[in-house]
Chain A
Amino acid sequence: MTNTPVATAPAIDVATARRRIRPARIIGGTLILIVTLSVLWFLVSNERFEWNVVAEYLFNPSVLLGLGVSLMLTVVCMVLGSILGTVLAAGQLSDFWPVKAASITFVGVFRGIPPLVQLIFWFNLAYLLPRITFGVPFGPEFFSWETNSLITPLTAAIIGLSLHEAAYMAEIVRAGMLSVDQGQHDAASAMGFGRWHTFSRIVLPQAMRVIIPPTGSQVIALLKGTSLVSVIAMGDLLHAVQVIYNRTYEVVPMLIVAVIWYLVVVTVLTLIQRRVEQHFGRGSARDGMRRPIRRVREAN
């Protein structure tokens, strides 16, 4: 091809064009292939992975039981954390300052304490508070329990992880609620909708598009976070494989068993998250497009 002007256009049809050669992509692709192959080779050739042991224990009843405990903890703490977090989010946005201050303080404290520290703390609550009583302060008691009979590894784990989760969910829900246009509040108010009606039918469904993606990450973080409860002898997935490798000394293959299960569950959760995002994109996503939605205003 030359740049010289010609009288008539040369007979060219771009349909015959070939793919452009892009050296950087060839080099990059090759490097990724080499790294992938060497990782696979490492996994396959290194006998210390003991894949036969992995296979043997993958569906071991105590491993599956541990997996069940981890899933149960994730679900329970996520539900409790989401409910409490939503209440705290509303509290942080309240125009009544004591409620606002209390909510902000709660979130600040429980977001700031590492979950591992919280778990150990709650598990040792009896040291600070030997008996838990309900009654008038400095007055009569109505109910009373030994702290040690209430605080088991299970309750300590649920309290610790739920409070931690609530603090994070509060921030996520608050951001979601703030993303809803003021005009929606005006319209709801002008129609005479009550507070709860406005919150549950108008604000929250629209806030969901902002709330869902980070909540998905929170569920995944919480699932992995349940491995912390092994320190208070709660029988989760990690604790289950630890019990086995303490006996058999097959540390690496047993950890691989746990890793496989964590990855499987996380993958499933990610797929569920995509579905939920799609559902709450109603009325604002472009038809047939799958993506988290941010453009609330556009829909108005």
Chain B
Amino acid sequence: MLESSGLIVTPEMDKPPVLEVTGLRKRFGDQVALDGVDLKVYEGEVVAVLGPSGSGKSTLVRCIDQLESIDGGAMFLDGELLGFEMSHGHLRPLTDSARKRQQRRMSMVFQQFNLFPHWTVLRNVTEAPMAVHGASAAEARERAMELLRRVGLEDKANAYPRHLSGGQQQRVAIARSAAVDPRILLFDEPTSALDPELVDEVLQTIKKLASTGRTMVVVTHEMEFARNVADRCVFMDAGRVVEERPADDFFEDPRSERLRAFLARSGRSPREVRG
């Protein structure tokens, strides 16, 4: 598996997981978005989350990053309960500032990039390290330039986001997320808002980042990418995890009927993928 994905770093499955989600439930009104999701992500592991639209995969990463409130289950980051604590004998939501402290240990790349349009590319990347992680201006700048070099955009440091193409904006967003050295990097359909010819540059950037041993959860529709980059693939449907396998098995030997149908619909029957 590792040879085929070209990864150097081996996920450390013997240690406790970086992220553990147990029985996660989330409703939007009457609509059940997540119906008891379990997920473990280990150090250095890249997990791809696939599934049809509306299967709850975006909601899952948004819940993990505490952008949505959750209705049940629990999530742990390095063994620490996310979003709640025992207080006066009961589980209660964290204070704002405690929740912010947890959010600072994760970061997220959005479908719509969500760069701050009134700031230059450089400031977008340096703001969080300086404002919430206590980096000095020089440190933050040096680190930001290094990251921008890695995503191939060091010459755009002083441009404003709207002067960049969608692919470039998303690469800046990736640099911004990586700049805070998160324990886990979450990607919410990072290429779905891009023109087809721009998808590849973003996928290459994510792949490069994955090869440095970062722990990542990537919600995506890009099958080829999931197969090449992820260690493990998770298939979600109707708010549940239907199948969860090492990447190669996932595509070559899907067990559930629903995953088989999904792969067929996506134009990849198991046989085609093998070739």
Task: Mark A residues whose CB is within 8 Å of B.
Answer: 181, 183-184, 186-187, 189-195, 197, 201-202, 205-206, 282-284, 296, 298-300
Closest to B112 in A: A183
Interface on B for A, CB 8 Å cutoff? 62, 65-67, 96-97, 100-101, 103-104, 106-108, 110, 112-120, 127-128, 131-132, 160-162, 176, 180
Q: Are A299 and B161 touching (Cβ within 8 A)?
A: yes
- Are B131 and A187 in contact, with the CB atoms below 8 A? no
A283 touches B117 (CB 8 A): yes
Contacts of A192 in B (CB 8 A): 100-101, 103-104, 128, 132, 180
Closest B residue by C-beta to A183: B114
Cα distance, A183 to B117, chains bound together (Å)? 11
* Pairwise interchain contact B67-A194, C-beta atoms closer than 8 A: no
Closest chain-B Cβ to A205's Cβ sits at a distance in Å of 5
The 10 closest A-B pairs by CB, nearest first: A192-B104, A299-B117, A187-B114, A183-B114, A283-B160, A190-B108, A192-B103, A191-B128, A283-B118, A299-B162
In angstroms, Cα B119 to Cα A282, docked, is: 8
Q: List chain A residues, Cβ under 8 A from B116.
A: 184, 187, 202
User: Is the beta-carbon distance between B117 and A193 smaller than 8 angstroms?
Assistant: no
Apart from A187-B114, A193-B132, A205-B118, 5 more pairs, CB < 8 Å: A191-B103, A283-B118, A298-B162, A299-B161, A300-B113
Residues of B within 8 A of A205 (CB): 118
Q: Cβ of B100 and Cβ of A194 under 8 Å apart?
A: yes
Q: Which residues of B contact A193 (CB under 8 A)?
A: 100, 128, 131-132
A195 proximity list for chain B (CB < 8 A): 96
Q: Which residue of A lies closest to B159 (CB)?
A: A283
Chain B residues within an 8 Å CB radius of A206: 117-118
| Central interface residue in A202, A284, A299, by most chain B CB within 10 Å | A299
Closest B residue to A286 by beta carbon equals B162
Complexed CA–CA distance, A192 and B112 (Å): 19
